[in-house]
Amino acid sequence: MKIFSRIKKGFSAIPERTQLVLLSFVVGLGCGFAAVLLKTLIKWIHHGLTFWFTKPSDAYLYLIYPGIGMLLSFLFVRFFVKEDISHGVTKVLLSISRNESRIKPHNTWTSIMASSVTIGFGGSVGAEAPIVYTGAAIGSNVGRSMGMSYKNMTILLGCGAAGAVAGIFKAPLAGVLFTLEILLFNISMTSILPLLISAITATVVSYIFLGDAVAIANTIETFSMGNLPYYFILGIFCGIISLYFIRTSLRVEDKMRRVRKPINRWIIGAIAMGVLVFLFPPLYGEGYNSLTLMLNNNPIEMAGGIIGERVLANKWAILLFFTAILLVKVYATAFTNAGGGVGGTFGPTLFTGGIAGFVLGRFINLTGIHVIPEANFVLVGMGGLMAGVMQAPMTAIFLIAEMTGGYDLLIPLILTSAISFATIRLVEQYSIYTKRIAQQGDLLTHDSDRAVLTLLKTSDLIETDFSTIGFNSTLGDLVKVIATSKRNIFPVVDHYNQFQGIVFLDDVRKIMFDQSQYESVQIPTIMKNAPAMVYYDEKMESVMNKFEVTQAWNLPVVDRNNKYLGFVSKSKIFSSYREQLQQVSHD
């Protein structure tokens, strides 16, 4: 501890921007190692469970593997972590808006443990959301341990998320864009440097330990301008499937939550997953190996299992089989998460997008309308669905380009992603990560005013120089308080310091010099109720709404037990807002 204290003391002497750069490198290292650990654990568990499969009958174990993984993950979270760690990206967004970018230390590793078991045993979820949560936790805790401000701790949290995505996909630019599009809004240009450092550092670590092979091996055909109209159609198709994916996922999880007993939720999820994976083997785990087979024009080998051997001899049966996968993948993901597993929708989104591209491309080819390069459609479909489900088109474009090791499909990626994004925005304003928290009023936006307001904390703006008066006091007592006060507002509190009301100087000015009323006039007869109450931990946007509705210039601040803490004034909020806006502009 003494050594850390000395390091922290010496570190504090360094300029703040230099501190941020140095810490972003440390965060990048941590995220890179975390990504390597997660991918390695998933690979080991999966290999240990399936390497000895030698005959089709062994596939019957797919009926129970996902359920076992979900159970182990559920027990770990329920009895060891004792806190919900699912839906990592949403949790990160909530920590920024609700909890001053503070994430608990255990989140630096618990998501890795739970998700590796869930996915390794065949849970149909992705490892990306857990690693983003892990990376954000690393950034948050590094910033907090070094005493960084809320703003810089938020940037380090973003560095962790960028490093996590970069490390897991070996895609530094996509990591930065993911953070900018989904997590951090209205960030200044100088703050991008730490994000880049973390992303590049994590990518290098991933390359060193996992090799320099791209995330998804593929065979891309030469891009033809004559196929552009079909990529336009693919964009619309991805937008429609994105809407289906978001709403179905949330609806299934909501219905599963209505099952009160967790063990019953696990039973339902385990049975459903076992059946789905048995019928549709590509649903087992993340599905990236299956996508690689599809990209190399081996869809029948990808199908595998009983179905692949007995049914897919007919070319139309292949199309129907993968259409079914396209529709049920979201159910597999929702059942895994709701049944106790820990994973995200990032991977399932990419998988579903690849299937969507294949289904549309194969349909066009079978009908003879046009000859479509199906592998290209698989890749572009991945980007299109990501742009729709996550509403992050830039991340989608560059992630697919970096994952496949080239930019040969940049034009169709841009077109399909843009059309998919535009299509879903016609009917759905929020992404799968933001829909629920938007309904709760906890969502940050790209609006500059709201983004700056999120940097202001009510607890930092409380003014405490208001003189209080007791609830059982008299006018004479109030006059004595007025004589020494610099304010014209006097909060009334009881002997427990609970807020009761307000006395305004203007209301007692006419009688305050009439000594005959000093004992007869009681405070309760002259006090007024507050126009509104502000809680010390209330979001600033909510506070400003109260000022707007009441037209007041000062409002009392209390804790959740109604104990008086002070006042917050509209003028001080405006002043702090201007200072924060100038700081952001200066950066």
pLDDT tens digits, residue range 234-256?
Answer: 999 999 999 999 999 999 998 99
Q: Is 483 exposed, middle or buried (0-12, 13-18, 19+ CB in 10 A)?
A: exposed
Lowest mean pLDDT among 393-407, 415-429, 431-445: 431-445
Same domain for 490 and 566, yes or no, is yes
Rounded CA separation 393/16 (Å): 33
Sign of CA dihedral 43, 46, 49, 51: negative
Mean pLDDT over residues 416-435, rounded?
91
Rounded CA separation 527/491 (Å): 9
Give the pairing type, strands 489-493 and 499-504: antiparallel
Do the Cβ atoms of 481 and 490 come closer than 8 Å? yes
Same domain for 426 and 462, yes or no, is no
- Burial readout 253-289 (b: 16 or more C-beta within 10 A, e: otherwise): beebeebeeeeebbebbbbbbbebbbbbbbbbbbbbe
Same domain for 44 and 135, yes or no, is yes
- Point out the domain boundary residue: 180, 210, 240: 210
pLDDT grade for 6, boundaries at 50, 70 and 90: low
- Point out the domain boundary residue: 163, 186, 210: 210
- Cα of first residue to Cα of last residue in the chain, in angstroms, is 34
Q: What is the pLDDT of residue 440?
A: 60
Task: Provide φ and ψ at 563, rounded to 5°.
Answer: -80, 135
Contacts of 208 by beta carbon, 8 Å cutoff, 6+ apart: none
Same domain for 419 and 523, yes or no, is no
pLDDT beyond 60 at 585: no
pLDDT beyond 60 at 516: yes
pLDDT beyond 70 at 432: yes
Same domain for 179 and 315, yes or no, is no
pLDDT beyond 70 at 138: yes
Rounded CA separation 565/558 (Å): 5
Same domain for 201 and 273, yes or no, is no
Lowest mean pLDDT among 100-109, 210-219, 391-400: 210-219
Number of domains in the chain: 3
Same domain for 200 and 236, yes or no, is no
| Domain with 347 in it | 225-441
List, in sequence order, every beta strand (DSSP E) within 374-495. 469-470, 489-493
Same domain for 70 and 111, yes or no, is yes
Read off the CATH number of the domain in which 490 is found.
3.10.580.10
- Point out the domain boundary residue: 421, 441, 461: 441
Helices (H) and strands (E) in the chain, counts: 26, 6
Token pair in block for residue 88: 């990592």
For helices 128-145 and 16-50, the axis angle rounded to 10 degrees is 150
Rounded CA separation 526/428 (Å): 52
Same domain for 239 and 206, yes or no, is no
Q: Does 239 reside within a domain?
A: yes
Same domain for 347 and 269, yes or no, is yes
Q: Which residue has the higher pLDDT, 209 or 405?
A: 209
Q: Does 215 reside within a domain?
A: no
Read off the CATH number of the domain in which 88 is found.
1.10.3080.10
Listed in sequence order, the DSSP H helices in 368-488 are: 374-389, 393-403, 410-425, 435-439, 448-453, 475-484
Token pair in block for residue 60: 């019957």
pLDDT grade for 188, boundaries at 50, 70 and 90: low
Same domain for 315 and 259, yes or no, is yes
Q: What is the pLDDT of residue 291?
A: 80
Token pair in block for residue 293: 């087979």
Same domain for 405 and 456, yes or no, is no
pLDDT digit string (tens) for 454-478? Answer: 667 788 889 999 999 999 999 999 9
